[in-house]
């Protein structure tokens, strides 16, 4: 399609340590320039666009919790193809404007395609919306949940009061692939025994979970058996907001990450067949069944073992937008007449 006629903001993300293919970037729209927001003339976020800096390649966008009055919101945008370590990953974000058509969820550049096919589940928990990937799940909150009612690490987040949780609906059998990656930001109000951040429900075959057991945070797989040294990490008593990621490679090699850094690895834990339902904030199998007390956000489920670079850059962009993106710059001119320009590529980190 033709480029939008409005000006745009542009920036380049943190240079990846390795090539990332179809990586989904995150953008805090409150950091867009005043000129960008001045060009917003609609509440329909899906009238916004994103392009690579070649001015040709359009990128799929998922606009989350967009507020044109408060000038806030978040954008997930898939960098189609390879993000390289060659400093050529600049992207353009065009503001939602009535001069652009609405991008439907299922369209080539709509919200459903902002995530690759291996991204099975994504629950930002800024609102009570369902899974944002193309996998058709229907979440159901049980008990009182404060969706977006607290400030999290990444915008609004959801508070779980110890008696509430979320059923996320039907998910694929990850055992058929033999790999899984789980990620989440969590803030724990109290040391809790056997409570899940995200757990597969009881069923036949293997199960997987990112779970707390008292002062220990674990990544569990295969009938909820602790996977060697990767089975647990000590949690700080300070109840700090923490990013955890657990992943299982098809060779049966589990890995546990904390705040973007590799913390532990384990032995054989092959997964063959797994439950096709899951919960957020509730451990439904093994040990006492307890519900989460505290904040959860940015829950992710992938049916593949994401690379070290993927996990660390997902942490980087959700930990500090200013460090990951530097300063957003305003083009100050309509792209209909200017598709290339010289500009200062310097960045503030």
CATH fold, domain 119-303, is Jelly Rolls (2.60.120)
The pLDDT of residue 88 is 81
Would you call 215 exposed, middle or buried from its count of C-beta atoms within 10 A (0-12, 13-18, 19+)? middle
The pLDDT of residue 138 is 65
The pLDDT of residue 191 is 63
CA distance 27 to 119: 18
* pTM of the complete model: 0.87
CA distance 306 to 119: 10
CA distance 109 to 327: 25
CA distance 255 to 229: 9
Q: What is the largest CA-CA distance in the chain?
A: 64
- Residue 20's closest CA among 60, 75, 62, 78? 78
The pLDDT of residue 81 is 93
Instruction: Report CA Rg, the chain.
Output: 20
Question: Which structure tokens are listed for 185?
Answer: 């930001």
Q: Where are the domains of the chain?
A: 9-115+320-330, 119-303
Place of tokens 């390649």: 57
CA distance 17 to 8: 28
Place of tokens 């240079």: 15
The pLDDT of residue 218 is 73
| Residues of the chain with confidence (pLDDT) below 70 | 1, 136-139, 175-177, 191-194, 201-207, 214-215, 221-238, 250-253, 266-275, 285-289, 333-349
CA distance 203 to 100: 47
Which residues on neighbouring strands pair with residue 212, listed in sequence order? 195, 217
Question: Which structure tokens are listed for 179?
Answer: 């790999």
Question: Which structure tokens are listed for 344?
Answer: 């200062």
Residues found in the chain: 349
The pLDDT of residue 348 is 33
Helix (H) or strand (E) holding 313: helix 308-319
- What SS3 class is residue 47? helix
């Amino acid at each position: 399609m033709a480029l939008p006629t409005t000006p745009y903001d542009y920036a380049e993300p943190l240079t990846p340590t390795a090539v990332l293919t179809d990586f989904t970037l995150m953008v805090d729209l409150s950091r867009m320039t005043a000129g960008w927001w001045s060009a917003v003339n609609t509440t329909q976020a899906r009238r916004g666009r994103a392009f690579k800096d070649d001015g040709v390649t359009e990128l799929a966008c998922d606009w989350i919790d967009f507020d044109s009055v408060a000038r806030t919101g978040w954008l997930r945008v898939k960098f189609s193809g390879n993000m390289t370590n060659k400093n050529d990953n600049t992207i353009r974000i065009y503001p939602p404007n009535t001069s652009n058509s609405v991008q439907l969820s299922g369209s080539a550049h709509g919200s459903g395609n902002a995530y690759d096919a291996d991204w099975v589940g994504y629950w930002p928990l800024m609102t009570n919306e369902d899974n944002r990937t193309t996998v058709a799940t229907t979440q159901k909150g049980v008990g009182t949940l404060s969706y977006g009612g607290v400030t999290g690490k990444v915008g609004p987040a959801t508070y779980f009061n110890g008696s509430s949780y979320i059923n996320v609906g039907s998910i694929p059998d990850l055992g058929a692939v033999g790999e899984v990656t789980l990620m989440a930001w969590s803030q724990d109000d109290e040391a809790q025994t056997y409570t899940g951040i995200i757990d597969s429900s009881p069923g036949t075959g293997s199960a997987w979970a990112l779970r707390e057991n008292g002062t220990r945070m674990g990544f569990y797989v295969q009938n909820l058996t602790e996977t060697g040294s990767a089975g647990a990490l000590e949690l700080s008593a300070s109840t700090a907001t923490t990013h955890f990621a657990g992943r299982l490679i098809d060779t049966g090699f589990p890995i546990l990450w904390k705040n973007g850094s590799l913390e532990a690895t384990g032995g054989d834990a092959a997964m063959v067949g797994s439950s096709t339902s899951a919960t957020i904030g509730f451990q439904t199998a093994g040990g006492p069944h307890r519900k989460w007390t505290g904040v959860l956000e940015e829950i992710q489920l992938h049916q593949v073992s994401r690379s070290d670079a993927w996990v660390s850059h997902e942490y980087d962009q959700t930990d500090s937008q200013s460090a990951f993106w530097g300063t957003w710059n305003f083009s100050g001119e309509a792209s209909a007449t200017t598709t290339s320009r010289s500009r200062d590529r310097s960045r503030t980190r």
